[in-house]
Every structure is written in structure tokens, then in C-alpha cells.
Structure 1
Amino acid sequence: MSQTLYDRDLYDWSMQTARLLREGRYAEIDTLHLAEEVESMGKSERRALEHRLVVLLVHLLKWEYQPEQRSKSWQRTLIEQRKQVAKLLDDSPSLKPRLTDLLVDAYDSAVRWAADETGKDESEFPQNCPYRSKQVLDPSFSPGPDETDATRRD
């Protein structure tokens, strides 16, 4: 059984497919694999958003459950992850209605990660995500007790 270009060299296949599309040579395009790759791109966007949400939730949990460890680094992570989530949602607005479900999925991973980083047991964190999607994305939202200069570390 001979392998297709797609099976032998994905990069070469993608460059050839792009060229065929630009030239309007649609009959020569490997449409089955093209459809798979386009679908895969969409799934990658969803996974990227979920990963950003996991990192964001981890830092929100750490912020709330380890106030004595708060740092500028954590603040920068919260800012950056929120910025990246906003960019992903701007690029793929159809993911916005899925945000609540993605937060539910991301929260399970975030709890495990936060427990590992804080040394706390997973049971010490809420079973369900305590933050609404609006809060998670809000740059002014910080969970837990108010931060003071005495509790912030650099």
C-alpha cells in the first residue's frame, strides 16, 4: 500500500494544498485530509483556550488560598493569561458561549495543579469552580482577602 503525501510529509502536503487552493485547482486537493486538518485547527484553538483557563484558574486559586505567597509574578501571570484568553476569544468568538463549560473542564485540572503547587489537599478547594466566567476574565477581580503590601512578595 503506497502512502499519500499527507502520510509521508505533512508540511509538504500542507504547502502543496495551499498552492492548489490559491491556484483554484480544487479537483486536485485531498479534501478528506484537508477537512481533517481544518477541524483539527478548530480543536487546537479550543485546547489552547482551555489550557490558558487552567493556568489562570491555578493562579486564582493560589491567590485565594495562599495569600501569604502572593507575588508580582503571580499578578503578571494573571494579567498575561487574561490577555491571552481575550485574544483567543477575539480570534474565535464562537468559543465564548462555550466558556462556562470550558471553565468546568479546566477547573478539575487546575485544582490538581494548585494542590500540587500549594501542598494543600485537593479537598481543601471547592468541588466546583467558585468563579464565574466574568470574574475569571475581569482584570480587576482578585479572589480572597484584599492584598496589602505586607502580604505581597516580589
Structure 2
Amino acid sequence: MLRHIDYPPIWLLFALGIVWIETVLAPQLLGHALIQGFGTLTVALGVVLFALAGWSFLRARSTIIPHQTPQQLITTGIFRLSRNPIYLADVLILVGLSLRWGALSGLILAPILMRVLLVRFIRPEEARILQQFGPAAQRYFAQTRRWL
């Protein structure tokens, strides 16, 4: 059962649900307009990262679905800067919406979400990529950081 719902967007939605509950139950703690503006920019950056990475997957005709082995090793575009731009986008969206909504819980949940993404998705994906692409993957991993 968990396998069918164990995807990064579900984890992000879970964290955002906790943040939203905080906004309902507690007063805004970070309600300053400058902070909210920074939150909006952070969300926008996350959306752009997600879109650029998604476009790279489409162009390469490779799977974007976690738990599957990709058909292509994508090392161009946004993947030159980060091996995991979609996961980075998830964290940016969480932090940005937390700032936008004035909720501290999202700032606490961000490193927890990063750890979940690392353990449940990134490490297994890296193992599959190394198995599939061997030395090319090793070179890519050596020259491109995991997050940013």
C-alpha cells in the first residue's frame, strides 16, 4: 500500500498540510510583507526549477517517476547545476509557502523533508543510475552536486 503513495509530491503535500494546519490554528508568526514577498519568490523559483527539470525529462524521453530506472542520463540544462532539481524544487516550495503563509513549521519541516527525499528517493535513484550508466554516472556525480 505505501509503495503506491510513496512519491515526493505526496511527502510535500503532507508537509504543506501540517503548515496549513498551523496557519489555521496559530497566528501568523512571519507576517511581514517583505518575508511574504521572499516566500513568493522562493515558490516561483521552485516552480521554475520543477518546470526546467520536467522539460529536460521530456526532451530526453526518460522517466520522471521515482522508483523507475531512467532511460537516459540527463546532465545538461538545469541538471548541470543540481543532480536533483525536482527535489530541490519541492523543498523550495515548502519553504516559500511557509514564509508566504507566515508559518514556522515549514521551516522546521524543510530539513526533515530533505532527509526523507535523500533516504527514500535520492540514494536508491543514484544506485539505479550507477548500475545503468556506470562510469558516465560516476563522472556526473563527481562534477555535479546532489542539491546545489
TM over 0.5: no
Determine which structure has greater relative contact order: mean sequence separation of CA pairs < 8 Å that are 6+ residues apart, divided by chain length.
2
Q: Which has the larger radius of gyration?
A: 1
